[in-house]
């Protein structure tokens, strides 16, 4: 899930918003301003309903952000780097660059999200009760009560023991702790996720048939999302198992053709060395240290009149935004980093020296060979 636009950084984590957030914002806005608020408080003016609904929807989105930020901060505290957070139609996603090293770390990372939502629900409920006791601001009390209920519901739903929900991570941590096998734990959690997904889809279709079309369609969408994500996580777990024991050096292209940082875009595009071979090239400085990656697409996007005066270093992806494994690092650990990387490439470094490059295609080539190799299957047995 890629962000449509960025909100900057919060607590050192990049935060973005997908365009689909507008859908949930409008749904909440219409549901409150056109339904719940006028029904419970008919004495208020129309503009008050819309204003209160807008503020309530915005605070709810901030609640989702707090939920995801808590995951990111605890993950970082437990040694798991965080790529970014994206708010979208069905909530938020905190993308981690790796996995927890122990069941305890997994438990802490997963458990903090529902706890934060539950805490926010309690805070909003307390605020609603206090405001109701000291004033007659009925609309504000109603908004706080709705925020309390939706955050508690969010906490309960996320605590269901099924991947990709937080409860699925908790289930995975417990099974991992009991069995000592993170792969078996993932299989259990993703199996529960697929089951939950089908249950939600079935319940949604039933609601559509009995006339509750909006609620039914919404449940089908959520169920399908849970089902798809659980299936994807299961596939990633099988991939990690297949790649177990394989170093990055077995998949990388060694000594890749690189571009000097001072090379201009026009020189880069005109040089026969860079034509028709690859779509991206590492960028190195005068000391042969890797500093980034330039793609033909990004270079070609520079206006023709500016290409002669624009160095490739100005249009490259900085090395800090790329996976940079060591040749001896496990290839399985690189897979999720490549998936979240916008460039879908990793520069393999020995210190600061560039020794290779790995692409998603390289991973596919290795996995295809491992899957079809009778020698490897015999070794695995």
pLDDT of residue 377: 45
Q: What CA–CA distance (Å, rounded) separates 311 from 9?
A: 28
365, two tokens: 């080539």
Place of tokens 């940082």: 261
Q: What CA–CA distance (Å, rounded) separates 99 from 106?
A: 8
Q: What CA–CA distance (Å, rounded) separates 349 from 352?
A: 6
User: Residue 357's beta-bridge partner residues?
Assistant: 253, 347
pLDDT of residue 287: 83
Whether domain 248-380 has CATH 3.10.580.10: the reply is: yes
263, two tokens: 């090379």
**Cβ atoms of residues 143 and 33 within 8 Å:** no
Contacts of 347 (CB under 8 A, 6+ apart): 282, 290, 293, 319, 322, 323, 324, 354, 356, 357
Question: How many Cβ atoms sit within 10 Å of the Cβ of residue 194?
Answer: 19
157, two tokens: 């739903």
Contacts of 64 (CB under 8 A, 6+ apart): 87, 91, 92, 154
Classify strands 5-10 and 82-88 as parallel, antiparallel or unpaired. unpaired
Question: How many Cβ atoms sit within 10 Å of the Cβ of residue 22?
Answer: 12
Q: Which residues are catalytic?
A: 68
Q: What CA–CA distance (Å, rounded) separates 276 from 225?
A: 39
Contacts of 62 (CB under 8 A, 6+ apart): none
pLDDT, averaged in runs of 10, over the chain (381 residues):
74 83 88 88 87 94 93 90 79 77 91 95 95 86 94 93 91 92 88 94 93 86 89 80 83 91 92 79 90 92 93 92 90 79 87 89 84 52 39
Q: Please provide residue 7's backbone torsions phi and psi, each rounded to the nearest 5 degrees.
A: -100, 5
241, two tokens: 């198992």
Region of residue 162 (phi > 0: left; psi between -120 and 50: alpha; otherwise: beta): beta
pLDDT of residue 22: 87
To the question of pTM greater than 0.85 for the whole model, the response is no
**Cβ atoms of residues 137 and 131 within 8 Å:** yes
87, two tokens: 């708010």
CB crowding 338-359: b at 16 or more within 10 Å, else e? beebebbbbbbbeeeebbbbbb
321, two tokens: 């935004």
Which value, in Å, is the radius of gyration of the alpha carbons in the chain? 25
What are the sequence ranges of the domains in the chain?
Answer: 5-242, 248-380
Cis amide prior to 164 (ω within 30 degrees): yes
């Amino acid at each position: 899930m890629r962000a449509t636009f960025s909100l900057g950084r919060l607590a050192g984590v990049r935060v973005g918003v997908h365009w689909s957030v507008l859908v949930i914002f409008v749904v909440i806005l219409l549901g409150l301003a056109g339904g719940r608020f006028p029904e419970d408080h008919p004495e208020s003016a129309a503009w008050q309903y819309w204003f209160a609904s807008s503020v309530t929807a915005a605070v709810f989105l901030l609640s989702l952000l707090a939920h995801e930020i808590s995951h990111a901060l605890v993950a970082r505290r437990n040694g798991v780097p965080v790529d970014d957070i994206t708010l979208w139609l069905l909530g938020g996603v905190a993308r981690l660059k790796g996995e927890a090293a122990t069941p305890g770390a997994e438990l802490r990372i997963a458990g903090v999200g529902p706890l934060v939502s539950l805490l926010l629900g309690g805070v909003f409920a307390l605020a609603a009760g206090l405001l109701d006791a000291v004033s007659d601001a009925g609309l504000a009390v109603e908004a706080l009560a709705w925020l309390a209920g939706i955050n508690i519901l969010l906490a309960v739903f996320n605590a269901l023991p099924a991947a990709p929900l937080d409860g699925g991570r908790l289930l995975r941590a417990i099974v991992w702790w009991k069995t000592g096998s993170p792969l078996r734990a993932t299989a259990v959690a993703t199996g529960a996720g697929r089951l939950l997904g089908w249950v939600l889809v079935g319940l949604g279709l039933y609601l559509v048939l009995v006339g509750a079309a909006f609620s039914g369609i919404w449940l089908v969408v959520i169920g399908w999302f849970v089902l798809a994500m659980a299936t994807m996580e299961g596939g990633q777990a099988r991939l990690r198992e297949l790649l177990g024991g394989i170093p990055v050096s077995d998949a990388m292209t060694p000594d890749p053709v690189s571009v000097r940082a001072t090379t201009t875009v026009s020189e880069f595009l005109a040089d026969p060395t860079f034509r028709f071979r690859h779509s991206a090239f590492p960028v190195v400085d005068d000391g042969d240290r890797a500093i980034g990656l330039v793609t033909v697409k990004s270079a070609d996007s520079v206006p023709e009149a500016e290409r002669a005066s624009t160095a490739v270093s100005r249009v490259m992806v900085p090395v800090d935004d790329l996976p940079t494994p060591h040749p001896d690092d496990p290839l399985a650990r690189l897979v999720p980093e490549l998936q979240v990387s916008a460039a879908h490439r990793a520069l393999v470094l020995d210190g600061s020296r560039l020794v290779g490059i790995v692409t998603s295609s390289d991973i596919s080539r290795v996995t295809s060979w491992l899957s079809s190799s009778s020698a490897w299957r015999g070794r695995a047995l």
